Amino acid sequence: MKKIIFLCSVAVLIIFISMHTTAKTVVTDGLVSYWTFDQDDIAENNVKDVWGNNNGTIVGDPEIVKGKVGDALDFDGTDDYVNLTNLGDFGSKVGTSTFEAWVKTDFKKDWTTLFKVLDQGCSMAWAIDVNRSAKANFPFAPDIVHFYVRQKAVAGCIDIAVEIEFELSDGKWHHIAFVVEDAGDTKVNIYMDGQPQEVIEGKGSKLDNFVPFVEPVYIGAANNRGKVERHFPGLIDEVRIYDRPLDAKEVTQNFESKFGLSVEPADKLSIVWGSLKSKK
């Protein structure tokens, strides 16, 4: 009888291993920082960077709620945001980079900011605004998502800025990916829910003078030369930045991932195997 039980348990273990070895985890090549916003990765007001060394600091009182993958932070749109004080020299790498996150909001009354840093003058900037081009005919105006990178040059401020029209503020989860690449000229590819988006308005320049940020990056609000504004009302989850442009296949892989880094199954595997051995 014990032998039958053991064989059945081994069969279950094989199925368990098969399920998790075929599950898609997120791309780690070029990954710089990863904030899951899971309960286990938040201690008081400290948000752990589970991949790098860029822990964030919670300002305000965003609620930890069920997210798209694990938990998420629910920002009230008034005074909540995450301060990435220790993002280091990523400002010097933003010229070839990827920003990804899952977001959920139904706010359309005004434009708000998902993340932003703008240093003094126009030395460096990096941001995503939602509904920045909101029209007066709320709530029927289309959602406009605006992304830009700016730097200081000899001739003054130069930047690359693009806008897409996408129904982001519909109260549903959406995966966003903004990919900056340097193919002779700086270019931005935008993906929503794993699909490439058509740019409806944009301007581009050759950006090649990237320097470290002076001001910290804010998630859930805009850091406009040290001033906090345009707080984001909604949920944010699974924020990742890469120091290289992801391709379409990699963006799709991250969009379809249900496990993040899939650390938990590996932990459970050792527990299950140990339990089986003890029953022999």
Domain-wise residue ranges, the chain: 1-23+262-280, 33-259
Q: What CA–CA distances, in Å, run from 96 to 28, 31, 183, 250?
A: 16, 12, 10, 15
Q: What percent of the chain has pLDDT over 90?
A: 57
Q: What is the mean pLDDT of residues 160-166?
A: 88
- Would the pLDDT of 3 be above 50? yes
Helix then strand then coil, in percent of the chain rounded to 5, is 20, 40, 40
User: Is the link from the previous residue into 216 a cis peptide, with omega within 30 of 0?
Assistant: no
How far is the CA of 178 from the CAs of 14, 22, 224, in angstroms?
38, 27, 20
Span 193-225, pLDDT tens digits: 999 999 887 766 778 788 899 999 999 999 999
Give the mean pLDDT of 152-175: 86
Return the CATH number of 33-259, one of 3.40.50.150, 2.60.120.200, 2.40.50.140, 3.40.50.11540: 2.60.120.200
Name which residue leads in pLDDT, 14 or 153.
153
List, for residues 74-123, the tens digit of each pLDDT value: 999 999 999 998 787 899 999 899 999 999 999 988 889 999 999 987 78
